[in-house]
Structure formats: C-alpha cells, structure tokens
Amino acid sequence: MKKLIITIGLAVLSIVAFSQDKLITKSGHAKFFSHTVAEDIQANNYKVISSITLSTGELIFSIPMQSFEFEKSLMQKHYNSPKFLDTKQFPKAKFKGAIKDMSKVDFTKDGEYSVLVSGSLTMHGETKELTEKGTITIKGGKVSASSTFNITLADYKIAFAKGKPSTNIAKTVEVTINVNY
C-alpha cells in the first residue's frame, strides 16, 4: 500500500512539473500591416494559439487565418478569397521552432530578454525556414513573448495576379505577434 501511495504521489508530482514546463495560450494576438501609396491595410487576430516549453525553448504558433479582422469588409473578402489567401483551403498558418539562445532567458527572474527564434513557418501551403528577433518578458511570474518581422508574400505564393487589389497590398507585410502565456 505504501508503494502504491508513493508511486501515485510521484506520478502527480511529475504531471505538475511537466505542466509547469509548458505554457499555453489560446488568445494571442497577431497583426499584419501593409503600406502602399494607394492605402494602408491592417488586420488583427486575437485567436492565436501558442505554446512554449520552458526547458527547451520550443515554440509553436497556430494562427486561424479566417480570424483576421479588417477595417473594411471588402478587404476581408479579398483576403479570404481563393484569388489571394484562400483561407478555406489553407485555414491555418503554423510556426514550429525554438529560441536559439535559451541561456539568455531566466524564467525564474523578472526581466526582458532579447532572443533569436528559428524554425519553419507554413502558410498558404508553403513552408519556409526563418530566424527572427523576439522578446521574452517575465513579470511577476507571468511569461509573454513578442516579435515584429516582415514576410514577403511571394515566398508563400500569395499574390493577386492582376486588378486593383494587386496594387493596393504591399509585396512585403509587417507581422507583429504578442502572446501572454
């Protein structure tokens, strides 16, 4: 009986330790911004799912592409259409990677840590490797992460072939990610 209680106790402790090693959010924020002479386009998405494994620095992001909200309904219609992002066929963008310089981050100490994140981004059926700067912030035991970087749409085979939308969106868009775990 004593062995059973000890075994159960150790199992509970290992589950608690494991769950504290991985932080998850389902309400992260992704924003993209496009600037052209014709107009600026910005869209926000507050349904970003992300996890971070504290012991390894592994990061995973899943972004439901139809959850981006635009100021103008026509922009949203163009964005989701088969002629541009085709969000019915490609419903999510996914990033899987890791913090390259984990030794810089002390998850037990409040602070702002500049890091490099490297991994693969899959969007619109295309996967590309990327390395970008990010910030991990620890405040009162809470962990948040942020990054701003540029994506060249053609790298992911995203483009309007012709017509007005093709001149109204930049060839490279700025993406900002903010998550609170």
pLDDT digits (tens, 9 = 90+) for 11-51: 444 444 444 799 999 999 999 999 887 788 999 999 999 99
| 3-state class (DSSP) for residue 160 | coil
- Residues near 164 by beta carbon (within 8 Å), at least 6 away in sequence: none
CA dist., res. 143 & res. 157, Å (int): 34
pLDDT digits (tens, 9 = 90+) for 71-126: 999 889 989 989 889 999 999 999 999 999 899 999 999 999 999 999 999 999 99
CA dist., res. 52 & res. 30, Å (int): 16
CA nearest 178: which of 68, 85, 45, 54? 45
Using a cut of 0.75, tell me whether the model's pTM lies above it: yes
Domains in the chain (CATH in brackets) are: 24-180 (2.40.128.110)
**Torsions phi, psi of 76, nearest 5?**
-65, -40
In this structure, the strands spanning 69-70 and 92-99 are unpaired
